């Protein structure tokens, strides 16, 4: 009896691992192909996000606008209503990553299974209430802890660049040891993947992912148990699921193995303590039970929500903190005057709407073919940390490209055709006459004018005079900007041969999405 039962559940668990791997690699694949596809238009590579009800809900509450793509999240909720938190146990790529590392740490004996009771489980509900309360006050913080945003951002800004640099090191070894064929194949593969490799704060974001993974050495699936607001939301919906854990009292020998190995502390034993809101239907308990006493029969009655130990006092306090966070996060000069560095991608919503809508996933930064889109730190204030901005010194906005507008899962960047995008002004270019070569040295340089993509060109060459150290004056052709034609793409700044601090640079002023961030004088 025992062996028969174990075999059945081993097969079941193998099936689960296969499905988890399939979802994980689908997520990874969609992320990996979020790059320039050799065409102006890219497919629905951001689709995975639209199955996330937490992103849909918080963005809807914060913006009061429903983004139709998030109708797909209804499927996740429906599945959860019927089957419980299977999305966490069988599909969530971050859950899979945590489970994988929990398994590794167990094998390496860093993680010793222990019975943790229900201590701490309520924290993820606190996080959920905090995020929802913040959204009510139009503060959208969900992107920091939503599992899909967290994983996407971490892979894009830290893991992929790390792998690309790692591959470079391997290539050196392969070529150095004469294995040129293998080197060429690897080099070609890395090139095809078009990883962006330079990111501000990439190290910090990578360390956060490392920290989240390392917590699994302390408690199995730490993130899923204590932190994940999406897990908490799905937990609330899993009360009515039709498969409930049952322990056959006649077979149970009360060994406690099921509790010890439960991935999410759902407390299978005793039966009355089982928390359907915590169970991710991994069925480890059923597989490990030495007497095959555990099963999940059909039982469509509502379960007790014993997992949510959130007292009314805690709930009120957390809601208050969520409300209070909104004004606190907004005590920042960024609201008074736009930062000159905050050059948003073309198609971005006006700043307040943008902050309510962007979930900091990094999809736009992944797809940008020039690596120009970077995560902000202080430029957009505390609520804008890790939202995208163009940093022309790193990469410019390619004239015939509208990819970031196509991959944003929440519509923080409006979808634009290339024809629409070329006319969108995201900033304004300025010539620094104290550094520009024709102005200072009287030498010829037309690099910025040559690269300016607008038609007619926004950079005009006019005769300028330079005073040389010997007192002589030379005349040379130097750049001036036509403010009406400049769209702020930044290619001039990017290509300027004055390397450390370019002699031509772009600031956000004049961006067409803002009526405030404009030159206030009528100049011409
Ligand atoms: S910032 Fe410009 S170049 Fe980068 S993805 Fe967006 S449209 Fe393309
Ligand atoms: S703007 Fe960029 S980071 Fe923000 S939600 Fe859209 S794709 Fe993600
Ligand atoms: S930013 Fe520079 S290159 Fe781009 S349109 Fe303005 S002047 Fe031309």
Q: Measuring from atom 8 of ligand 3, which residue has the nearest CA? A: 452
Residue-level pLDDT at 1: 46
Closest of 414, 327, 339, 417 to residue 378, by C-alpha: 339
Closest of 510, 506, 508, 507 to residue 521, by C-alpha: 510
Ligand 1 contact, 373 CB (< 6 A): yes
Closest of 236, 246, 250 to residue 270, by C-alpha: 246
Residue-level pLDDT at 479: 98
Q: Say if CB 345 and CB 404 are below 8 A apart.
A: yes
Provide the CB-side half-sphere exposure for 20 (13 A, CA): 22
Mean pLDDT, each 10-residue run in order, the chain (524 residues): 62 92 98 94 96 97 94 97 96 98 95 81 92 94 97 98 94 91 90 93 98 96 96 93 91 92 92 91 90 87 65 84 89 89 98 97 98 96 96 98 97 97 97 98 97 97 96 97 97 97 97 92 62
Neighbours of 74 (CB within 10 A): 12
The residue behind tokens 């008074």 is: 336
What ligand 2 atom has the least distance to the C-alpha of 354?
Answer: 1
Ligand 1 contact, 385 CB (< 6 A): no
The residue behind tokens 């065409």 is: 39
> Ligand 3, from 431, 446, 452, 482: best to mutate by most atoms within 8 Å of Cβ?
452
DSSP states along 297-322: -B--SPPP-TT----HHHHHHHHHHH
What ligand 3 atom has the least distance to the C-alpha of 491?
Answer: 3
Residue-level pLDDT at 114: 82
Q: Measuring from atom 2 of ligand 1, which residue has the nearest CA? A: 397
Ligand 2 contact, 277 CB (< 6 A): no
- Distances in whole angstroms, Cα of residue 170 to Cα of each of 162, 182, 191, 268, 385: 12, 10, 14, 47, 34
Q: Measuring from atom 5 of ligand 2, which residue has the nearest CA? A: 358
Which ligand lies nearest to the CA atom of residue 399 in the structure?
A: 1
pTM more than 0.85? yes
Q: Say if CB 164 and CB 73 are below 8 A apart.
A: no
The pair of three-digit structure tokens given for residue 407, joined into one six-digit string: 């991959």
Q: Say if CB 376 and CB 420 are below 8 A apart.
A: no
What ligand 2 atom has the least distance to the C-alpha of 360?
Answer: 3
Neighbours of 499 (CB within 10 A): 7
Tell how far the Cα of 290 is from the centroid of ligand 1, in angstroms.
58
Q: Say if CB 12 and CB 283 are below 8 A apart.
A: yes
Ligand 3 contact, 431 CB (< 6 A): no
Ligand 3 contact, 34 CB (< 6 A): no
């Amino acid at each position: 009896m025992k062996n028969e039962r174990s075999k059945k559940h081993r097969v079941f668990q193998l099936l689960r691992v296969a499905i988890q791997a399939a979802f994980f690699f689908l997520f990874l694949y969609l992320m990996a192909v979020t790059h320039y596809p050799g065409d102006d238009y890219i497919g629905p590579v951001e689709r995975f996000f639209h199955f996330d009800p937490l992103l849909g809900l918080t963005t809807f509450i914060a913006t009061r606008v429903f983004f139709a793509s998030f109708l797909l999240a209804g499927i996740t909720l429906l599945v959860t209503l019927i089957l419980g938190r299977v999305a966490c146990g069988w599909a969530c790529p971050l859950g899979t990553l945590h489970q994988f590392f929990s398994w590794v740490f167990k094998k390496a004996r860093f993680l010793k299974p222990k019975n943790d009771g229900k201590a701490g489980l309520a924290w993820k509900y606190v996080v959920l209430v905090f995020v929802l309360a913040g959204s009510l006050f139009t503060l959208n913080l969900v992107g920091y802890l939503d599992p899909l945003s967290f994983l996407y951002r971490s892979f894009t800004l830290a893991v992929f660049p790390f792998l690309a640099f790692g591959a470079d090191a391997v290539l050196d070894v392969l070529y150095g040891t004469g294995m040129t064929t293998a080197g060429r194949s690897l080099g070609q593969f890395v090139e095809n993947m078009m990883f962006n490799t330079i990111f501000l704060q990439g190290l910090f974001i990578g360390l956060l992912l490392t920290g989240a993974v390392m917590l699994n050495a302390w408690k199995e699936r730490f993130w899923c148990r204590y932190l994940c607001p999406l897990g908490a939301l799905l937990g609330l919906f899993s009360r009515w699921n039709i498969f409930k854990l049952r322990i056959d009292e006649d077979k149970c020998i009360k060994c406690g193995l099921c509790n010890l190995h439960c991935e999410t502390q759902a407390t299978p034993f005793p039966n009355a303590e089982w928390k359907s809101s915590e169970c991710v239907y991994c069925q480890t308990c059923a597989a490990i039970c030495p007497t095959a006493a555990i099963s999940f029969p059909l039982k469509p009655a509502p379960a007790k929500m014993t997992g949510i130990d959130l007292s009314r006092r805690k709930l009120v306090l957390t809601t208050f903190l969520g409300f209070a966070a909104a004004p606190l996060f907004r005590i920042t000069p960024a609201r008074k005057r736009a930062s000159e560095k905050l050059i948003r991608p073309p198609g971005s919503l006006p700043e307040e709407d943008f902050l309510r809508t962007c979930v900091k996933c990094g999809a736009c930064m992944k797809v940008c073919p020039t690596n120009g889109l970077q995560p902000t730190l202080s430029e957009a204030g505390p609520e804008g940390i890790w939202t995208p901005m163009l940093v022309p010194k790193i990469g410019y906005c390619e004239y015939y490209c509208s990819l970031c507008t196509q991959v944003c899962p929440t519509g923080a960047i409006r979808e634009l055709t290339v024809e629409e995008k070329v006319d969108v002004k995201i900033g304004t270019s300025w010539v620094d006459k104290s550094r520009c070569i024709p102005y200072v040295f009287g030498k010829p340089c037309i690099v910025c004018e040559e690269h300016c993509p607008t038609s007619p060109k926004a950079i005009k060459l006019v005769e300028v005079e330079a005073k040389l150290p010997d007192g002589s004056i030379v005349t040379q052709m130097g750049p001036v900007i036509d403010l009406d034609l400049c769209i702020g793409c930044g290619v001039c700044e990017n290509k300027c041969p004055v390397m450390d601090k370019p002699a031509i640079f772009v600031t956000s002023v004049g961006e067409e999405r803002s009526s405030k961030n404009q030159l206030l004088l009528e100049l011409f």
